[in-house]
Every structure is written in C-alpha cells, then in structure tokens.
Structure 1
C-alpha cells in the first residue's frame, strides 16, 4: 500500500488502529504534551508524584520520569481526541507503548497501568546502575549489514550487543553494554553507515535486562488483567491478542525480547486495518510508518490550542 502523510477528517476511532510510542521521543515533544494535557487526571497525578508542577522541569533523560510521562501522554492524547470511550479497531505499542496499548484496550485499569509504568522505570533505572548499557540506532543497511557490524563490535570488545528493535527494513536498534555499543557506532562509521547512540538510559531489550525480569514479573503479576475490549497487536510476536494471560506474559517478556515493530504493522494490515494514528507524544511512529508503506499513518486535524494555567 502506498502510504502518505494524509489528514484523516474522521471524528471517531472506528476503523483506525492507534499506536503508542516508547520513551525514545524528543523531550520537547513530551514536555509539550504534558503541558497540553496537564488537567487530565493521569497527567496531573504523574506531575504531582514527580514533585514538579512545571513539565519543563522534568529530567526526561531519567527513565523513571520518561516512562510514566510517555504513558500518561499517550492515553490523554486519545481521550482528548476521541473521548473517554474511544473504540479503535486495534492498538499496538512500541516498547513501553505496549503497556499504554493494554490500558487503552481495557486489559489494564489506566491507574494500574500508571503504577506499572512508574515501577518499570524504577526497575530499569536500578538495572542500569547494576549493568550499565546503551542503545544505538543503525540506519541505511539491512540485517546482513547489521549483523556484520554487531558481530565485529562483539569480537573487538568481548561484550554484549543484541538486536533490540526491528523498526524497518533499513532501521534497526541494537542494545548492550556501552563499550560494545560505541564500538558498533565506530565500525558503522568506518563503513559509512549511519549509526547513533540513543538518549535512553538503559540497555532495553537485551540480555543485560535479564535480572530485571524477576521484579517486573512480580509487579505485573500483582495487577488484574481483563480480556481486551479491542484487539492488541503485540510488538513482541507481531500477532493479534485479546486473552489477558497471553498479554500479561508478553508484557513481562517485552523487557528482554526485541521490538518487532515492522512485523507488528504488517499484523495490523493483515487484520484488514488500513489506517494507523500515532497518539504520541511526538511523531516517532508516524515517521517510521511513512518509510515502510505497509499501512497508512494518518494525521488528524489540529485541535484548538488550550490556555495553560501556570
């Protein structure tokens, strides 16, 4: 399907899949969203718990802040656009966005989801302290080129570096210890392949997160899960799900397994859904979708600017 950045004039979510990003957004986009939605109960609660009234004061390089901030902004965006009873045809989420998608689909109570987003941030922060790591994006080469870079970096450093995100046919995210990740960036430069370290404090979706699975499983297991009211296309197995226990286990494993974003968008297409909207914050998923021409990532008409009381 040819994909263009078209404007969708629909006022409902019917026939539309909604996509939720992970924490790798531009901080300015997250601050803008928090400011816009600051009266939403989830956003207000997050800001109150952070101890900072002004979103601009948040350190969004800290995963303990970035994860719940991204979560509340995604749900608030859908609520403002489509109302509290939004009923999309499907939902999907990139990394942390899988948690947001489950809340939107009714699998999780949104407040339980916020508690999990906060706990996930705490667990990941502690794991970064214990086993520091980094993530890099490599663009302009396929999996054969990625593997050439990855294996050479491991051979030079003796460290860990694994596929963490399959975002597109020519965009892949690698995750591992910081030394090996930076070695991979250097090797990519030697090959004139674009690679850059991501501003994310952690080695998400790599073996370095293995010790975090225990406390994360404990947190996820303690929260009730319900059958999905709308189909969730998981970015862990790229398949549609409604069963709560399947979705619980996928959410747990998502901390360690790679994000199969490209395959998940194909899974949306296979359900007969042709339009996807990126709930944000930012337009990271929209931009990824435009490059791949699998489904149509649509823009929606701008909403009126809100007056923000400071």
Structure 2
C-alpha cells in the first residue's frame, strides 16, 4: 500500500490549532518553540489565543500552518517511530509545499519558518489591497476548461488566470479585480457557480511577480538539499528531487498555477498511492482527494486521536 503525505495551504488556519498537540506531546511543544525562536515572534500564542484576524494575515497564517504540520510529523517520528520516509511521495498545496520539503528533510525547520514569513509578507505587499481578487468556480460544470474560458473572458479587463486547479468542481481564478469580476459573470453564463473569495491578495497569478522576485532572492541563500522523499511539485504535477530544481520551482510557484488535481491523479495513478494522509490543520486536502481519486483512502492528522489511530493502522 503506497502512502503519500500531503500538507495543507492557506485557508485551513483556525484559532486553537496545534493546542491539543502541544498539551499532549513534548515534541510538538519543541517544534512550536523553535518556530517562535526562528521568527522572534510568539506565533504559538497567536495560534492558541488569536485574534483570528491577526492569525489570518498571510505573513502569520503561512508559518503557523507549517508549524502544525511540522509538529504532527515530529510527533509521528518521535512518539510512534513513523518517519516521512514511510511515504512514497510528499506534496503540499501552495505554502504546504514548504511544509512537505521540511518533512522530507530538504529544509530546516527554522529556514522553512523564515521563508514562509518572508513569502507571506512579499505576497501581501505585491498588490495594493482592493486591486486584486480571487474567485472560486464550483459545481459540476466547474472544470478546468470552463475556468480557462472564464479567465480568458476576464482577461479582456486585465490580468486573469486559473490559480488553483483543486478538483473538478472546484477551480480558483485570480487577477485584477475588474478582470475577476468579469470572469465571474462569464462563468455564471456558462452554468457554473462563481463566488468571490475573501482574500487579501490575488495569489498564484502574474500580479504576484514582485513576490516571486523577493522569494528568488530569499531562496538564493537558503540551504536546500535533496529531499529523502520525492516532492510532487505544484507547478509541474510531477516528482522532483534535485535541490536546484526545487529552488527554481518554489519561485515559479508564487505566480504559477497550483496543479493539485493533476498532482493527486498522478500519485494515484503512476505513483501507485492508495492512501493519502493530510498532515496538519483542517481536512481540506482529504476532501479534495476523495473527489479526485475516490478509490483511494484519504485521512487527516491534526489531533492526538487522529495520530494514534493512524499509527495503529500501520
């Protein structure tokens, strides 16, 4: 039974995440303390107590979500003897790619935290608030072809592209506000439901180029080594192990499409994965997997009880 570890992206954060792990496991507390030290910030207190609007800020949500994923992986290794190498592949949704690389040994915990803090700040600053937008196209007709057609219609008014191909029935577009507004109308005319997302910036589109430039600079000096487990990359939907290729793809990822549906399809097909395990806050990715690869098992690990049940199943 081939296994893949998956790591969630922004949107899965919630006040209180990681608290049960910290209360139960010494190793989880150590991970949260190390992230706090790396950032010179009491991030765990924010995760524990909020306020929600501060936790949701991109520069806080990104390292916080990684910290929960890292804590779960640390507990699996320290308390249950389950290393990342038990998986055939790792993959992460957007910022989750950094969590995956940490889990696979390509990045240190401190460097991962600092890179995500920088990534969040750069993405927030790239486009003035109110100038960009994102929208989710949902429903049975909302596939990639419809989303690309809607984005083309929107691009008549500005930048508009498909940002996240999550699964059939859930595709996200991103770009300038006027363009996304036009794309929403076009999508509705084509029979899809289209909902503007409450986001602070238009992620994964060309408007994020200033953030990509900032991450190119930050990643240039980061220590990245070949992961112990191949990463199925967002922008290629294929595995990669070469450290310099990973460095390049992390820069491309800022403006590029998150090809999540294709990534899961590849892992469930050529990759031979029959069990997908979402590591960290929320259950978003497990839900996506069930829609993409219904014959595969999908589960989420974010509580002590989840971790114990998973360990007992191996």
TM-score by length of 2: 0.82
Equivalent residue, structure 2, for 1:293: 293
Alpha-carbon distance in structure 2 between the residues aligned to 1:281 and 1:15: 23
Q: Could you give the per-residue CA deviations for residues 193-234 of structure 1, whole angstroms, max 9, x where no partner exists?
A: 212222332111101011222221010111111111111111
**What root-mean-square deviation, in Å, do the aligned CA atoms of Structure 1 and Structure 2 show?**
2.5
Change (3 A) 1:145 1:78: same
Equivalent residue, structure 1, for 2:183: 184
Q: Could you give the per-residue CA deviations for residues 216-271 of structure 1, whole angstroms, max 9, x where no partner exists?
A: 10101111111111111112101111111111111111101101101111222212
Change (3 A) 1:136 1:92: same
Indicate which of 64, 69, 72 corresponds to 2:59. 64
Equivalent residue, structure 2, for 1:273: 273
Task: Quote the offset at 1:159 in angstroms.
Answer: 1.4
Alpha-carbon distance in structure 1 between the residues aligned to 2:8 and 2:99: 9
Equivalent residue, structure 2, for 1:153: 154
Task: Quote the offset at 1:165 in angstroms.
Answer: 1.0
Equivalent residue, structure 2, for 1:21: 8
Task: Quote the offset at 1:37 in angstroms.
Answer: 3.8
Equivalent residue, structure 2, for 1:5: none
Equivalent residue, structure 2, for 1:34: 18
- The within-5 A match list for 1:250-261 is 250-261=249-260
Alpha-carbon distance in structure 2 between the residues aligned to 1:145 and 1:92: 26
Task: Quote the offset at 1:111 in angstroms.
Answer: 1.3
- The within-5 A match list for 1:122-271 is 122-129=121-128, 132-140=131-139, 141-155=142-156, 158-269=157-268, 270-271=270-271
Alpha-carbon distance in structure 1 between the residues aligned to 2:254 and 2:21: 28
User: Structure 2: which 5+ runs fail to align?
Assistant: 23-27, 307-314
Structure with bigger helix share is 2
Alpha-carbon distance in structure 2 between the residues aligned to 1:78 and 1:278: 11
Contact 1:213 1:252 in 2 (8 A): yes
**Equivalent position SS for 1:195:** strand
Change (3 A) 1:193 1:251: same
Task: Name whichever of 193-202 and 80-89 sits farther off.
Answer: 80-89
Change (3 A) 1:130 1:214: farther
Task: Quote the offset at 1:36 in angstroms.
Answer: 2.7
Contact 1:235 1:263 in 2 (8 A): no
Equivalent residue, structure 2, for 1:4: none
**Equivalent position SS for 2:106:** coil
Alpha-carbon distance in structure 1 between the residues aligned to 2:18 and 2:177: 31
Alpha-carbon distance in structure 2 between the residues aligned to 1:95 and 1:36: 25
Alpha-carbon distance in structure 1 between the residues aligned to 2:71 and 2:277: 14
